[in-house]
Amino acid sequence: MAIATVNPATGVTEKEFPPHDAAEVDERIGEAHAAYLALHETDFAQRAGWMRAAADILESEADELARIMTTEMGKPLRQAKAEALKCAKNMRFYADHAEGFLADEPLEDASAVGASRAYARYQPLGVVLAVMPWNFPMWQVVRFAAPALMAGNTGLLKHASNVPQTALYLDTLFERGGFPAGSFRALLIGSREVEAVIRDARVTAVTLTGSEPAGRSVASIAGSEVKKSVLELGGSDPFIVLPSADLDSAVATAVTARIQNNGQSCIAAKRFLVHAEVYEEFAGKFAERFRALTVGDPLDESTDVGPVATASGRDDLAELVDDAVAKGATVLAGGAAIDGPGWFYQPTVLADLTDEMRIVLEETFGPVASLYRFENRAEAVRIANQTTFGLSSAVWTQDAEEEAYFVRELQAGAVFVNGMTVSYPELPFGGIKASGYGRELAAEGIREFMNVKTVWKA
Ligand code: NAP
């Protein structure tokens, strides 16, 4: 795949970038390694100062950066700006909290292990490779980079090939804040070149956010090198609505949860499971809202839904919908690609789904929602848990006992009650099953790429 900005709203290639050759990659890994050694001599306060300065720069450039993101992957401009500002918030969060999250953890009863003193110390591992997706081209990267740099690790970024301008912006951002040169370096390489980087002795770990096949490949290479990996992969999150829910609020939130980022979010609600008692009302209101969404130029402030980010992504989406319709699904809204330049797809709602349809088990990455009717909570849990994914979930109920049941039974890395899944710097984020392993954000995120060094003293 060429490393290029191809505007998904027009299909026009706006900028191409020559890939880095092996010598350039080697030099950049060397820079990241040298920066790691330099960071070893710094303390939290110094790094926090640089991180806050980088956050200030990012905030002051958020408008320009938002336009780059929208041009590269098509998200509505106001969502792109919100993403940039959220990154700055995350950077400040780790500037404020890294030292506390990584403080020595003393064992209170050291005598139990025959010691006068025993504690765990968190120390950085070194250079970490981040293989990242295009869908939140800033946020996915910064939620790794900010804790990594605050911990004293350094980062190499292999970004998705369709967001090179965002990658190059990130290549200099932390250095502009004051971090040593090379603390965070972008590699303009294709996915085939990732293996050699993982196997490089100067690289100690890898994190990948992206699809399941990419995750399997990267993790197996890392495993063969005995290097730590974290995987944030796909999702097909359920959004479950019980009769006691505030239905209008559930419908409004459900629409946002499905179409934000043009429907291309790992934690988007993708399957809507509604109790039979309120199914007809929910389905009617939900489909009506879908039909009223404004699809168009993502640079236009009034646009709700922009294009799918790539031509192949739109084809994949269309195939899933066509397969379901051919096997008897009912189309309550949309159902087809939109003719004309760019890769637009109608906001779509499908109902009457049966198990032989691919859409029941596969991830839909675009503005397509699937509706399911259930009769009782055990059936809701069965449908919710039937995919191989386990990223997040949402449940809408006013009943405390029902809430406790779903929190216990849903196979997912998170449950949001009477709301939609959102990632926050303050909360651990990640999945189970084929959605991956490891956590980002909060204290758990910064501790992933650390040596937990046990210290024992007689
Ligand atoms: P993708 O095709 O897997 O690409 C992600 C990154 O991996 C890109 O940098 C890509 O490079 C690289 N890559 C692809 N195949 C590779 C391989 N075999 N070896 C090494 N690197 C490889 O995924 P995507 O289409 O960009 O993103 C969508 C997917 O990401 C969805 O499944 C979504 O749910 C998931 N996602 C998960 C999270 C989460 O936190 N759990 C967050 C966001 C997205 P190229 O671009 O050069 O191919």
CA-closest residue to ligand 1 atom 16: 214
CB 404 less than 6 A from any atom of ligand 1? no
CB 194 less than 6 A from any atom of ligand 1? yes
> From the alpha carbon of 158, which atom of ligand 1 is closest?
9
| Six token digits for residue 301 | 């402030």
pLDDT at 325: 98
pLDDT at 437: 98
| Six token digits for residue 46 | 């110094």
- Ligand 1, pocket-test mutation among 266, 433, 437, most atoms within 8 A of CB: 266
Q: Environment class of residue 313 by beta-carbon count within 10 Å: exposed (0-12), middle (13-18) or buried (19+)?
A: buried
pLDDT tens for each residue of 101-139: 999 999 999 999 999 999 999 999 999 999 999 999 999
**Amino acid occupying residue 309:** A
Q: Calculate how far, in angstroms, residue 135's C-alpha sits from the geometric centre of ligand 1.
A: 9
Per residue, what are the HEC states of the chain? CCCEEECCCCCCEEEECCCCCHHHHHHHHHHHHHHHHHHCCCCHHHHHHHHHHHHHHHHHCHHHHHHHHHHHHCCCHHHHHHHHHHHHHHHHHHHHHHHHHCCCEECCCHHHHCCCEEEEEEEECCEEEEECCCCCCCHHHHHHHHHHHHHCCEEEEECCCCCHHHHHHHHHHHHHHCCCCCCEEECCCCHHHHHHHHHCCCEEEEEEECCHHHHHHHHHHHHHCCCEEEEECCCCEEEEECCCCCHHHHHHHHHHHHHHHHHCCCCCEEEEEEEHHHHHHHHHHHHHHHHCCCECCCCCCCCCECCCCCHHHHHHHHHHHHHHHHCCCEEEECCCECCCCCCCECCEEEECCCCCCHHHCCCCCCCEEEEEEECCHHHHHHHHCCCCEECCCEEECCCHHHHHHHHHHCCCCCCEECCCCCCCCCCCECCEECCEECCECHHHHHHCCEEEEEEEEC
Q: CB–CB of 436/415 below 8 Å?
A: no
pLDDT at 353: 98
Give the whole-angstrom CA distance, residue 212 versus residue 362: 11
* Domains, the chain, ordered by start: 4-233+435-457 (3.40.605.10), 237-424 (3.40.309.10)
- Ligand 1, pocket-test mutation among 198, 206, 209, most atoms within 8 A of CB: 209
pLDDT at 1: 79
- Ligand 1, pocket-test mutation among 139, 170, 191, 308, most atoms within 8 A of CB: 191
CB 214 less than 6 A from any atom of ligand 1? yes
Phi, psi values for residue 390, rounded to 5°: -160, 60
Of 27, 42, 45, nearest to 124 (Cα)?
42
pLDDT at 134: 98
| Residues of the chain falling short of pLDDT 70 | none
CB 241 less than 6 A from any atom of ligand 1? no
CA dist 146 → 41, 96, 141, 173, 346 (Å): 18, 11, 9, 11, 36
Give the whole-angstrom CA distance, residue 150 versus residue 317: 39
pLDDT tens for each residue of 50-90: 999 999 999 999 999 999 999 999 999 999 999 999 999 99
Task: Give catalytic residues, as residue numbers.
Answer: 232, 266
CA dist 253 → 256, 417, 421, 444 (Å): 5, 12, 10, 28
Of 163, 165, 172, 130, nearest to 147 (Cα)?
130
| Six token digits for residue 436 | 């991956």
pLDDT at 431: 98
Give the predicted TM-score (pTM) of the model: 0.98
Q: Calculate how far, in angstroms, residue 366's C-alpha sits from the geometric centre of ligand 1.
A: 15
pLDDT tens for each residue of 324-371: 999 999 999 999 999 999 999 999 999 999 999 999 999 999 999 999
CB 233 less than 6 A from any atom of ligand 1? yes
Q: CB–CB of 13/1 below 8 Å?
A: no
> From the alpha carbon of 1, which atom of ligand 1 is closest?
47
CB 204 less than 6 A from any atom of ligand 1? no
